Amino acid sequence: MKARSGRREAIMDEADKELLRDGRTVVVFGSMNMDLSVACDRMPLAGETIHGSDFVTGAGGKGANQAVAAARMGAKVHMIAAVGADTFGDQLVAGLEHDGIGTGQVRRLADVPTGVAVIVRTGGDNRIVLAAGANTALDGREVIGSIDALFDQGDARIGSIFLAQGECDLKATAQAIEHAHRRGMFTIFNPAPACNLPPQTWREVDLVCLNETECESVVGIVPTDEDDCRRALEALCRLTEGAALVTLGAGGSALLFEDEYVHLPARTVDVVDTTAAGDTYLGALAAMRSQGFPLLDSAGEATCASALAVSRLGAQASIPTAEEVMAWLIEQWENDR
């Protein structure tokens, strides 16, 4: 990747595209949780117990979800994470390996449990409570060591994608982003749950991708209309000197790169479960970028993958493959003829 100064280019030039045509790895540093999910007609009031239904357990965590989405969209993926030395940890690691994700940098810790997410689903929406467990156990030195190990093994290289979120130790995340970018990786940060980075770390982020709530938390602007979207994205780009993208739920997504503003409408689907919507979007976006596609094309593919995910129940169980996305698009096209 070429050296950058001032405002960095978010879209790759021809040399960058040539470098990536054989595909580069997506390295995800993030959380791995066991999701415990239940449906109900409405949210309970304080002190109230209500009946639920459709209880499911499944693999989750923003980091793991995004890794699975990237792998199913055709990327070579490696996970950097920590789980407990327990049954949930065993199941989560096995699930990643089933999707072909490298787990050599997933640490098994005996003194902390695997992270857990308790999810209450109602009316196509969800509320989530996290118990971080092992997700916050790794420090920056350990994550940097994992990045370097992947480079030493040839599993990561210049032009690879580094993807991180906000569910792990934030100081470790910041140090990892800085290190990955300085090693020539294209860095994507998803500040979810809403969080912030030191100013020097923001300047090592090539693309920040976040939803409306997180956008308000980071830059103080709610992207309720096009003008506010533009202002929010401009503020985010001032932080990163790179590109910014905000997902808008049923409103689609909007992005700003090289001073160009683009709005992408959402795909219309029957919403079943929004749990993995954002994670599917991020993972699909990272996968397309790792294969050399421009940011706008990558966002379009991510929009389709995310739409298909919300039409299904579960976190990782809902994430589609590239083949499923293509088949769904063909079906949509034929229905619209």
Q: Which residues form the catalytic set?
A: 279
- Is residue 192 within 8 A of residue 214, CB to CB? The reply is yes
The owner of tokens 């309970």 is 44
Rounded CA gap, 34 and 119, in Å?
10
Inter-helix orientation angle 277-290/62-72, to 10° = 50
Which 8-state DSSP code applies to residue 168?
Answer: S
What does the alpha-carbon distance between residue 275 and residue 193 come to, in Å, rounded to a whole number? 13
Burial class (CB in 10 A: 0-12, 13-18, 19+), 41: exposed
Q: CA 49 to CA 65: how far, in whole Å?
A: 30
Could you tell me the sign of the dihedral formed by the alpha carbons of 200, 161, 147, 71, in that order? positive
**What does the alpha-carbon distance between residue 315 and residue 135 come to, in Å, rounded to a whole number?**
18
Measure the CA angle with vertex 11, ends 8 and 13; round to 5°: 95
Instruction: Tell me the pairing of strands 53-60 and 207-211.
Output: unpaired
Max distance between CA atoms of the chain, in angstroms, equals 60
Are 258 and 268 within 8 A, CB to CB? no
